[in-house]
Amino acid sequence: MASSTDETPTDYYASGSETSDGRVFTVTGQDWDSITAGLGGLDDVEERVVVNMGPQHPSTHGVLRLILELEGETVTVARCGIGYLHTGIEKNMEYRSWVQGVTFCTRMDYLAPFFNEAAYVLSVERLLGIEGDIPEKASVMRVLLMELNRISSHLVCIATGGMEIGALTVMTIGFRERELVLDLFELITGLRMNHAFFRPGGVAQDLPPGALDEIRGFVALMKKRLPEYADLCNANPIFKGRLVDVGHLDLAGCLALGLTGPVLRSTGYPWDLRKTQPYCGYETYDFDVQTWDTADSYGRFRVRLAEMWESLKIIEQAADRLARLEGGPVMVADKKIAWPSQLAIGSDGMGNSLDHIRHIMGESMEALIHHFKLVTEGFRVPPGQAYVPIESPRGELGAHVVSDGGTRPLRAHFRDPSFTNLQATSVMSEGGMVADVIVAIASIDPVMGGVDR
């Protein structure tokens, strides 16, 4: 373009009146009269108003962009724009070893990191053919951490959902309890999020001393705190006024659009992969699948609330088993797959255990070679593909992992429930009020890290 000869400098941003379709108004609130007055003088006036909400808006659960067509305050068309948080995690995993992949996928759905890791490592274990060799303690620890994670994820959903409709107390108490779960994560894995704790073959580390006491203390405390949510919300007329019959989606709609998790269970259908297609030994735990029969946002809230009680039941059982399994192995016995060293706390923080360093540096040349090969090259996975779905807090989370026999995945694709469920935005909110769009999306509980990956 050979221009810029005129005096005025090029403005790289479109001005308020430049658009391909219709006039643009920048709305800041309380100025509806001035807008209608501005439109009054035009002949080609039409009722349709297109509102672009997001990608930066506190009520859109991260960088979600909503494109709403309004007639007055009624939404006629709702569309989602996603991709603002696309980080290429799946592509990156193709350039890292099978073990390193865990550190990438844990960052996808950042409210449910353990579920991302579990879906991935279960798929890799199926590819390796070692599903039956995982030590019991590793499976119990996975279940324990996943259920703790389910509680923390549901708490964030309820807390942010409450905040978006103005129930700030629900937000503050939700994050108060979530903090306790994150403290447990920090105690057990060393990190509050992005743990990379599940590894193909087991988990990275044994439980630290005193962890079971902390977990039991947490369960006891949660049993006192969880009723607060019920007291605050269940029969609260304002809360019910905002949630009841909002974001309605029945069973047929859920199946057609592929919705799973609390949204599906709020239609009354007890589909929970922990019961129907158990993994990690869930069939040996005593818990119930929670459902509701209203198929609306209120039902989804009640399902999540009830599921936290079920998770507490599972955590108690897992803690009892871990007490019995003290000292047991947490990594598969096959030394060609198991990470060679267990971590330990040293004078400079967490790192390779000194015993292991002493062993490979001073005692056994073979152990040193073995360590070197596993860390630099990693193990090879026989060619083939596997898809292992698990029940994440948001629904079916599955990892489709393909190996070509190399030390790195040929392809790792995650069927993230947030991505799929977000498609229901249109059908849940069209024909409703604009304020109900926020409630409907909050009831889906999308996490953009998982949507965009």
Nearer to another protein, 91 or 358 (CB): 91
Q: Comparing C-alpha atoms, which of 92, 99, 146 is closest to residue 120?
A: 99
Nearer to another protein, 225 or 415 (CB): 415
Is the CB of residue 307 less than 8 Å from the CB of residue 154? yes
CB of 105 to another protein, least distance (A): 14
Nearer to another protein, 242 or 274 (CB): 274
CA angle 300, 306, 311 (to 5 degrees): 120
Nearer to another protein, 90 or 206 (CB): 90
Calculated CA dihedral for residues 363, 364, 367, 373, nearest 10 degrees:
110
CA distance 368 to 104: 27
Token pair 């105690």: residue: 187
Nearer to another protein, 110 or 298 (CB): 110
CB of 380 to another protein, least distance (A): 9
CB of 376 to another protein, least distance (A): 8
CA distance 337 to 341: 12
CB of 266 to another protein, least distance (A): 16
Q: Partners of 392 in the beta sheet?
A: 395
Nearer to another protein, 141 or 402 (CB): 402
Q: Comparing C-alpha atoms, which of 86, 115, 104 is closest to residue 451?
A: 86
Nearer to another protein, 95 or 346 (CB): 95
CA distance 422 to 384: 31
CB of 55 to another protein, least distance (A): 13
Give residues with Cβ within 8 angstroms of 129, minimum separation 6.
Answer: 382
Nearer to another protein, 236 or 277 (CB): 277
CB of 422 to another protein, least distance (A): 8
CA distance 384 to 382: 7
Taking CA atoms, 36 is separated from 33, 45, 187, 435, in Å, by: 5, 10, 57, 20
R_g over Cα of the chain: 25
Nearer to another protein, 129 or 346 (CB): 129
Nearer to another protein, 83 or 431 (CB): 83
Nearer to another protein, 93 or 156 (CB): 93
CB of 200 to another protein, least distance (A): 15
CB of 243 to another protein, least distance (A): 25
- Phi first, then psi: what are they for 279, rounded to 5°? -140, 165
Taking CA atoms, 333 is separated from 13, 223, 337, 339, in Å, by: 61, 38, 8, 10
Q: Comparing C-alpha atoms, which of 428, 441, 418 is closest to residue 59?
A: 441
Is the CB of residue 107 less than 8 Å from the CB of residue 113? yes
Q: Partners of 250 in the beta sheet?
A: none
Is residue 132 classed exposed, middle or buried when 0-12, 13-18 and 19+ CB atoms within 10 A define those classes? exposed
Q: Comparing C-alpha atoms, which of 172, 32, 31, 194 is closest to residue 109?
A: 194
Q: Give the binding site for another protein (CB under 8 A).
A: 82-83, 86, 88, 90-92, 94-96, 126-127, 129, 255-260, 271, 276-277, 376-378, 383-387, 389, 396, 398, 400, 402, 404-408, 410-411, 413, 415, 419-420, 422-423, 452-453
CB of 9 to another protein, least distance (A): 25
CB of 133 to another protein, least distance (A): 14
CB of 106 to another protein, least distance (A): 18
